[in-house]
Each structure stands twice: as structure tokens, then as C-alpha cells.
Chains A and B, each alone.
Chain A
């Protein structure tokens, strides 16, 4: 029904299809935002207001507090810092390793190219729970438990398939003449990559980097398994631990505040880079 697109509608009357469209828009926005807004509201309510039945949707001033945020303390900033550090480093490593591979798979006709691509596609479908047992053994054997390398290397790996697929489709769209003339001028492949191709690739690198950063920030099972020292935890694990901290009384206010703080960086990324994220998701999944 929504597919009707007749420009004949008079301005004063809202056509049924337009009305239906707007009902859809309102439902969609409500569905996507309601849980987030609900956490936001809870995070500012006093404990008494949280535990009031029936639920308070429009709290008065004295039912509001910022105590839950303050209660999280400096520890929480530390977790944010940990997440930021791990996500940023693994994103950089991933681009550094993935971009050359993507270029090679797009341009330099190496034998076995299709096999490598198929491999990359297949591993992007693996659930991480199938990997943590083997990785746990490696982490123990090498002695990098409670070391961020135990997160940075797997995070790089889980983001490599996406990076390679997105950047490969980007490189394939670059005009080949440019590289040919660079070679005429006597550049070898690596020099040409550095001086000619890389500068043009920066927008695509940013697109990919945002996605890999988000995936690294959100990863749970490796962070839960390989990092056991509380002060080294990343946001998803730290927040989940607050949820299970007390047996007798679940601290709803602090949990809500923690979920809000832990998701703010991602909401900002989405607000700033919506278009790029959409591009990245479609390029990573559709072309390949």
C-alpha cells in the first residue's frame, strides 16, 4: 500500500496513502527510540520514583536526580577509556592490514583470489562462540590473558572480512588509468599505493573504520572471557557486571545510567556518520 506515489494529491487534503506513511513513520521512530528514551528517563529518576507503581512517566523536579551518574564514579570513565583504546587500536590495525589485502584482491590478479574471497565471506558468518574455546587456549599458552592484545587481535580478525569486502569494492571502482600512469612514471606498486591510491581512499577508510570501531566497542564474549581484571574491563562487560552485582537488590538507576553512558559514544557516531554507516553496511553485505 505504501508504494503509491501519485503527485496528484491536492495540498489541503491528506491522501490515505500519505496518512498511512506518516503512521508508519511514527510507529517506526517510536519502536526504535522508546527503549533508549526509557533508559534515559530511568537514569534520572530517584530510587523512590523508580520504585513507584504505577510507573511515573512525567516526573516532577524532586523525583529527578543526577546521583546515579555520579555514583558510577571514575571507574566508569576508566571502562569507557578501555573500550575506546581497544576499539581504536584494533580499528587502526584492521585498516592497516585490511586495506593492502583489499587492494591486492581488487587489482593484482593473484592465483587463488577467489578461494581467498570465499574464505573471507564464510568466516564473516561465524558466531564468536565457536572461536572462544580455541582462542582461550592460545591466550593461555602465550600468556596474554588480561592483556589487551587478547582483544585487539581477535577484534582485528572479526572486522577484517567486512574491511576487505568494503574496501575491495571501493578499489574496483577507482579509475585504473590513474594507477597505470603512475606506473609509467616509474612508481612501483607499494610506492604507488602510498602516494596515489591511499590519499584517494581516505573516505572509504573512514567509512570502514566507523563500522569496525562500533563492532569492537560492542563485542562481548571475548571481552568477558579473556579479561578478568575488573579495572581492565570494557563497557559491555562492565555494564553487564553492574547488572549482576547485587543478589538482593538490583540497582536499576545505576544500570540505566551505565547503559546511557555506554551507548552515548555510539549514538554520537550514528548521528554524525549515518550516511557512511549505511554505505558501509550495504557495501559489505551486498557486493562481495
Chain B
């Protein structure tokens, strides 16, 4: 048998092995997105008795003037930016701690993983209870510390409800960032720090000049994953506030879900899906571009 036919046979086997996975991925990911593009050109709602009627770009026209959509987009942006910043800072702190050697480190690492593993929808209820107006433990602790004079409303007040959501999200996802950053920290050779210390650098200087630049790729990867997840946050908001009070914590995903499931407006819901998808793709492309650049920088420095 010649090299060529072996290679051809390998390729055929290769395709056979990949195809089942590809089919499932296309069915569950590609089809719904393409379908949303198509459906967004139709009116299909209670007004049309759920029959699809071609209306061109009118759904998108409606979207431009839909203040509820823009508010939800604003809420999502605030939620995403604030939660990611907090997660990065705290996650980096976690990673720095877990990178040290101390007694019981294995146990501490295990504990730090627990929030990541628990179901968001279930823990969202736990957080709603923690931030409860009457019996919540947050109010009780703040009263005991003398920070508050009387218990306050958390989930019923727009700003504080958003704060509570961000707090719960930070709790849930910081471990993920910490794990990624820890992997980055562990890949930094120790002699770099030693050489830097001999040159007279303080630990703080080492942190800014060695640690941060060298884990920049991991930071960007964490950012990328967290941005995508955070931008599509659904279960936490649905369970903790349901988007309330008065839409103050309604994210884009909550709005899309309500549009389809409560108002049964499939055409407009599809348009919302398309716009959210495009925003997400644009942001991901930007991060991926930065990521590619950061990799080059890192390898250039070594």
C-alpha cells in the first residue's frame, strides 16, 4: 500500500469520527442562530395568530425604538462590567493565595471550587434568602456591625438589587477565574523572581513587572469566557429578582425569554436574539484580537 492511500484512508476515517459531533453541534448551535436570522424577518405573534407573515426589517425598526430593550442592554452592560472587574480582582487574589505553599492548601483549593460547581439557579434562591428584607442575614450582620439602623430592602430597590445580583455572581464565578489565573501563575519560572529581587526589585514591583505581564494571556482568556457567560446571564437573575423591581435588573436574556415565552412574540424575539448575537460576536472578536496580540508580546519578551 502506498503512503498516499494510507493517508486517504486516514482522512476518511478522520471525517467519520468527526461527523457525529459536528452534526450535533450544527443542530444545537448553528441551526437556532440561523433560524433566528430568518424568523426575525417575519411577524409571528398573537396578532398574527402565531402564523409567520413576512415583514422585512420591521422587527428591527421596532427594536430601535424599544426603550425596554435598551434598558435591558444597559442593565446587562452594567452587570457584565462590574461583575467581571470584581471577579478579576478577587480571582487574582485567590490565585495568588493558592499559589503559595501553606498547610492545608489542598483543602482550601477544594473549598474554593465549591461555588463554581453548585447550580446557579439553586444558589440564586439561597442568595435571595440571604438578601431577604425581613429575615436576611445581610441585614442582620449590618445591623450588628452598626452600619445600619434599621433593616433595608435589597431586592426591592433597583440599585441594591443590582448590587445583590453582582455579589452573587462574583461569588459563583470567581473560582473559575482563580483556577485559570493559578495555572498562569504556576507556569512562571521561579528564577525570574529571584533575578528580579537580586536586581533590587520589591515584591510589589515584581508583581507589576513580572506576574501581571506574564499572566496576561490567562487574564484575557478568563475575560473572554466570563464576558460571554455574563452577557447571557439568565438563571441567576430569573431566580433572584425575575428582572425586577420594575425592570431595573432585567437583562437582555430575561427580556428575550419573556418576549418568547410570556408574550409569545416569536418574530420579535428572534430579532432580539440576532442583535444580542451580533453584539456578542463583535465583542468576542475584539477580545480574540487582543488575545492574539498578547500572546505575541509574551513570546517576544521571553
Residues of A in contact with B (beta carbons under 8 Å apart):
1-5, 21-22, 24-25, 28-29, 31-33, 35-36, 38-39, 42, 50-51, 53-55, 97-98, 100-101, 103-105, 108-111, 116, 119-120, 122-123, 125-138, 153-154, 156-158, 160-161, 164, 188-190, 214, 217-218, 220-221, 225, 235-237, 239-240, 243, 252, 255-256, 258-259, 262-263, 266-267, 269-271, 274, 277-278, 281-282, 285-286
> Are B125 and A100 closer than 8 Å at their CB atoms?
no
| Residue of A22, A35, A116, A269 touching B171 (CB-CB under 8 A) | A35
Q: Which residues of B contact A4 (CB under 8 A)?
A: 203
> Are B122 and A236 closer than 8 Å at their CB atoms?
yes
Q: Which residues of A contact B94 (CB under 8 A)?
A: 28
A132 to B35, CA, bound (A): 11
18 contacts between A and B (CB under 8 A): A29-B108, A29-B111, A100-B17, A105-B18, A127-B229, A127-B234, A129-B253, A129-B257, A130-B276, A131-B28, A133-B35, A156-B24, A218-B121, A237-B121, A243-B239, A258-B125, A270-B117, A281-B180
> Are B33 and A274 closer than 8 Å at their CB atoms?
no
Given contacts A125-B224, A221-B235, A255-B125, contact A2 B18 (CB under 8 A): no
Interface SS majority for chain A = helix
Q: Is B81 an interface residue (CB 8 A)?
A: no
Q: Which residues of B contact A188 (CB under 8 A)?
A: 13
| Residue of A132, A259, A266, A282 touching B179 (CB-CB under 8 A) | A282
Chain A residue with Cβ nearest B121: A236
| Residue of B113, B235, B273 touching A236 (CB-CB under 8 A) | B235
> Are B234 and A236 closer than 8 Å at their CB atoms?
no
Q: Is B280 an interface residue (CB 8 A)?
A: yes
Whole-angstrom distance between the Cβ of A284 and the nearest chain B Cβ: 10
Q: Which residues of A contact B119 (CB under 8 A)?
A: 217-218, 220, 235-236, 239, 262-263, 266
Residues of B in contact with A (beta carbons under 8 Å apart):
9-11, 13-15, 17-18, 20-22, 24-25, 27-36, 39, 90, 93-94, 96-97, 100, 102, 106, 108-115, 117-130, 132, 134-135, 137, 140, 143-144, 171, 175-176, 179-180, 182-183, 193, 203-204, 206-207, 211, 218, 221-222, 224-225, 228-229, 231-235, 238-239, 252-253, 256-257, 260-261, 266, 269-270, 273, 276-277, 280, 284
Q: Which residues of B contact A161 (CB under 8 A)?
A: 25
